[in-house]
Amino acid sequence: MPGPAERMRMMRERRRRQGRRELRLDVPDPRLRSVRKRVAAQVARLNRRNEDEALDWIEEVSEFDAANRNEQ
């Protein structure tokens, strides 16, 4: 059985052949109190009207996309 590095190389090659590639993300750790406090402060500053408009738009677009998928 190949070692871990070789298995990763093989997996990446297999994904490339499938037209896929690896994407790595670094995100804030929600387990940290400092991160939770920062997120809570950002949420508290959100403008409710703007957020409602954005959510309405997302719902409209999602419904539009779903309707198009059903027609295909």
Residue 33 has pLDDT above 60, yes or no: yes
Residue 52 has pLDDT above 80, yes or no: yes
Where residue 1 falls among pLDDT bands split at 50, 70, 90? confident
Residue 68 has pLDDT above 70, yes or no: no
Where residue 67 falls among pLDDT bands split at 50, 70, 90? low
Torsion of CA 38, 44, 46, 52, to 10 degrees: 120
Contact 12, 22 (CB under 8 A): yes
State pTM to two decimals. 0.51
Map out the domains of the chain as residue ranges: 4-71
Provide the 8-state DSSP code for 31: T
